[in-house]
Amino acid sequence: MTHQFPALSPEQKKALSDIAQRIVASGKGILAADESVGTMGNRLQRINVENTEENRRAFREILFSSDASINQNIGGVILFHETLYQKDSSGKPFPALIKEKGIVVGIKLDKGTAPLAGTNGETTIQGLDGLAERCAQYKKDGADFGKWRAVLKITNTTPSQLAIQENANTLARYASICQQHGLVPIVEPEILPDGDHDLQRCQYVTEKVLAAVYKALNDHHVYLEGTLLKPNMVTAGHSYPKKYTPQDVAVATVTTLLRTVPAAVPGICFLSGGQSEEEASVNLNAMNQSPLPKPWKLTFSYGRALQASALAAWVGKSENKKAAQEAFRKRAQINSLACRGQYVVSGKTDTAATQSLFTASYTY
Amino acid sequence: MTHQYPALTAEQKKELSDIALRIVAPGKGILAADESVGSMAKRLNQIGVENTEENRRLYRQILFSADSRVKKCIGGVIFFHETMYQKADDGTPFVQMIKDKGIVVGIKVDKGVVPLAGTDGETTTQGLDGLSERCAQYKKDGADFAKWRCVLKISDNTPSALAIMENANVLARYASICQQNGIVPIVEPEILPDGDHDLKRCQYVTEKVLAAVYKALSDHHVYLEGTLLKPNMVTPGHSCPTKYSPEEIAMATVTALRRTVPPAVPGVTFLSGGQSEEEASINLNAINTCPLMRPWALTFSYGRALQASALNAWRGQRDNADAATEEFVKRAEVNGLAALGKYEGSGDDSGAAGQSLYVANHAY
């Protein structure tokens, strides 16, 4: 504990820090296109498209062959293993297609959840075995960042002390290994929105979870300037009856982060969870408009919230490619504006109506 | 762990937060005038003055009689118990003299160090017994903040995991109790400058210690916005042969803080340790001109570094009182400027020459 055995050289640190900064450069966020085969199955089923390798490839090609100007809004793309080795119709590997637009390539590294015996249905994440070798290979094959998703849930008895501590620890091990191989680890401790808890409860749990995560990262000698955080926004549970405004979500979320995330972390890229495309953008925008200080970038790492419209426009037909790309580009631009607090919501949302709920009796 | 049992009401939080912000308002810092009877003995001995209660009273009177110039640079004064109940020559209680200048009154509440058996001469700090009642009384008697000093040291095998954990825990208990009684806790985990270790070692240890402190504060449900941190600056050990510039000290210090101190903490008030008056001011100034982003106020909580010249000018002679007060005011103003990054040094150090030293070899 008293002597340092440096984990990284200054050159390694600089390389990691540079990658992280590039991903969250002003106005940029992440396209989370790393749906596993099973998860892609869910997405494709909804638009009546068969879940074949070719269909998965075709859809990802639509996204990655967007006009290069998408690099103004997208700083990084997370890929699933299969996708890293797929090519576009002209035979160009996807990593090359993405990198030539100046966008950083990332890779999902975890191997899914495993149950924690003796808990109320809680889990940890597996994937540490051989992770060093996998990271080294992915780095050679074009990846510069990794992603690992831990999952916690809020119920009357969860998350338990064990679940918090175990998930924080595996996240820290993963992060440490990534950095040894030149990959920036995105640390994702997702607290699911399932449940009927209120905003305050989510905030409390998120604060405890993030405090544990950063203690674990420190214990494991992780270089914070070369990491990114991918947390849930602080929201009420899905089945909570009352509606909170984007400003409520923004203040609760930013307050939580101010209490737990060191300023050395360059960027926080929110997951969209079950939020709609618009909801995810509006909430991100509210955070960036909030008068609270924000020493880190607050941006997005969205899957569904960037792709839902594109999928619906595509419905598996190659003639819909342009329409699908346009739908994706639109969401990317909107989220880019949201990163700067400049997204002006048009349409039916009455900003006055939402503003009035802001000073709630809810104290942070 | 999953349900919150709020420790503080919204009103209590606001009160604590307001007090903390007042103490570290821009350009302001703390006068640490809380030397115990034993510590005062050392100070008075050095100027050939007898350590009587009257002499201690006369000396504090010199500091507290400072004119309105101190209003802009002193946000808080830390008292020792005896001093809280002493009065000026004209019968005005010291507490009132300080409050009349719009300065917040603080009280040292720890009861000194005790050994940790089985360690290499390490300690924890006592004072938790009846602390709640004492805080309540001090609050009635005019105190709005408190201070508790823990001590760690760097040697070949210290600080040990036990020393770090135990001191962090006791600091968190103290902080929790203070807040219950409307008192802002200043959390002081001092890592002594004794030793021949280099700057990097001090930075490493400081990061580990502060990470443990903030995890403990989170575990104990302490409201960070209503606390202040009083750490050591990151410096080489006293007997380290390598010389470092103020800019290197600043970079190491700010980097360590950025990695561990949540932005929700309103202010960091450095202890001066063994530094001379000028050194403490120059270093604080360098910290405030450091190119890294600093989300908290970075100011001073100085004892010796504010009082050395004043003590020397006084030498126990009533006739010297005004001159001594003037010395104190001078140092207070200098440190007020340093807290804003506007102190240009006593003349020998040119600001421009200092700036060029920022890009050092030390990889932080």
Name the residue among A192, A224, A221 with its Cα closest to residue A113: A192
Domain count, chain A: 1
Phi then psi for residue A195, to 5 deg, are: 130, 175
| Per-residue pLDDT, B103 | 98
Question: Among partner residues A13, A258, A363, which is closest to B262 by beta-carbon distance?
Answer: A258
Question: Among partner residues B3, B13, B262, which is closest to A260 by beta-carbon distance?
Answer: B262
In a domain, A3, yes or no: no
User: Catalytic residue positions of A?
Assistant: 188, 230
pLDDT > 90: percent of chain A: 93
| Per-residue pLDDT, B362 | 56
In the residue annotation, B188 being an active-site residue is answered as: yes
Give the DSSP letter of residue A102. T
| Per-residue pLDDT, B364 | 74
pLDDT > 90: percent of chain B: 93
Instruction: Calculate how close chain A gets to B13, using CA atoms only, in Å.
Output: 9
Q: B262 — contact with chain A (CB < 8 Å)?
A: yes
The domain spans of chain B are 10-348
pLDDT at A355 over 70: no
Between B78 and B356, the more confident residue is B78
| Per-residue pLDDT, B346 | 78
Q: A292 — contact with chain B (CB < 8 Å)?
A: no
CB within 8 Å: B218 and A157: no
Dump the DSSP string for B190-248: EE---SS--HHHHHHHHHHHHHHHHHHHHHTT--GGG-EE-PPP----TT-SS---HHH
- pTM of the complete model beyond 0.95: no
pLDDT in tens, B278-310: 999 999 999 999 999 999 999 999 999 999 999
pLDDT in tens, A8-45: 999 999 999 999 999 999 999 999 999 999 999 999 99
Q: Which whole number is the average pLDDT over B250-257?
A: 98
| A204 chain-B contacts, CB cut-off 8 A | 3-4
| Under 8 Å between Cβ of B337 and B29 | no
Q: B263 — contact with chain A (CB < 8 Å)?
A: yes
| Per-residue pLDDT, A359 | 34
259-288 in A: which are within 8 Å (CB) of B?
A: 259-264
| Under 8 Å between Cβ of B30 and B302 | yes
| Per-residue pLDDT, B2 | 80
CB within 8 Å: B161 and A263: no
Question: What are the tokens at A158?
Answer: 């969860």
Instruction: Tell which CATH architecture fits domain B10-348.
Output: Alpha-Beta Barrel (3.20)
- Residue A345: count other Cβ atoms within 10 Å of its Cβ: 17
Question: What are the tokens at A148?
Answer: 């690992």
| A9 chain-B contacts, CB cut-off 8 A | 363
Instruction: Calculate how close chain A gets to B8, using CA atoms only, in Å.
Output: 10
CATH number, residue A347: 3.20.20.70
| Under 8 Å between Cβ of A87 and A98 | no
Phi then psi for residue B352, to 5 deg, are: -65, -45
Q: Which whole number is the average pLDDT over A192-205?
A: 97
pLDDT at B207 over 90: yes
Dump the DSSP string for A171-237: HHHHHHHHHHTTPEEEEEEEE---SS--HHHHHHHHHHHHHHHHHHHHHTT--GGG-EE-PPP----
Between B60 and A358, the more confident residue is B60
Q: Which whole number is the average pLDDT over B303-329?
A: 97
| Per-residue pLDDT, A46 | 94
Question: What is chain A's Cα-based Rg?
Answer: 20
CB within 8 Å: A159 and B4: no
Per-residue pLDDT band for B114 (boundaries 50, 70, 90) equals very high
Question: What are the tokens at B272?
Answer: 């001066």
Q: A1 — contact with chain B (CB < 8 Å)?
A: yes
CB within 8 Å: B295 and A154: no
| Per-residue pLDDT, A361 | 42
Question: What are the tokens at B137?
Answer: 């009384």
ipTM of the modeled complex: 0.88
pLDDT in tens, B145-204: 999 999 999 999 999 999 999 999 999 999 999 999 999 999 999 999 999 999 999 999
Which residue type, as a one-letter code, is found at position A329? Answer: R
The mean-pLDDT minimum among A51-55, A359-363, B92-96, B122-126 falls in A359-363
| Per-residue pLDDT, A345 | 81
| Per-residue pLDDT, A96 | 98
CB within 8 Å: B13 and A160: no
Q: Quickly tell me which residue has 């103490």 as its tokens.
A: B23
Name the residue among B344, B240, B343, B348 with its Cα closest to residue B300: B343
| A208 chain-B contacts, CB cut-off 8 A | 1, 218
Question: What are the tokens at A222?
Answer: 């992780």
Q: Which whole number is the average pLDDT over B31-48?
A: 96
pLDDT in tens, A206-263: 999 999 999 999 999 999 999 999 999 999 999 999 999 999 999 999 999 999 999 9
Please report which helix (H) or strand (E) contains residue A105, including its range: strand A104-108
In sequence order, which residues have a C-beta less than 8 Å from that of residue B177 and are 6 or more positions away?
A: B128, B131, B132, B135
Domain containing A259: what range? 10-353
Query: What is the rounded average pLDDT for all residues in chain B?
Result: 94
Between A345 and B116, the more confident residue is B116
Per-residue pLDDT band for B318 (boundaries 50, 70, 90) equals very high
Question: What are the tokens at A212?
Answer: 């544990």
| Per-residue pLDDT, B257 | 98
pLDDT at B351 over 50: no
| Per-residue pLDDT, A347 | 57
Distance from C-alpha of B24 to C-alpha of B296, rounded to nearest angstrom: 9
pLDDT at B360 over 80: no
pLDDT at A142 over 60: yes
pLDDT at B62 over 70: yes
Instruction: Calculate how close chain A gets to B213, using CA atoms only, in Å.
Output: 10
The mean-pLDDT minimum among A37-46, A334-343, B350-359 falls in B350-359
| Per-residue pLDDT, A2 | 80
Angle at alpha carbon of residue B210, lines to B207 and B214, rounded to 5°: 135
CA-CA-CA-CA dihedral for B245, B250, B252, B256, to nearest 10: 170
In a domain, A184, yes or no: yes
Phi then psi for residue A101, to 5 deg, are: -90, 5
Question: Among partner residues A164, A262, A363, which is closest to B262 by beta-carbon distance?
Answer: A262
- Residue B291: count other Cβ atoms within 10 Å of its Cβ: 12
Give the number of beta-carbon pairs within 8 Å between A and B: 97
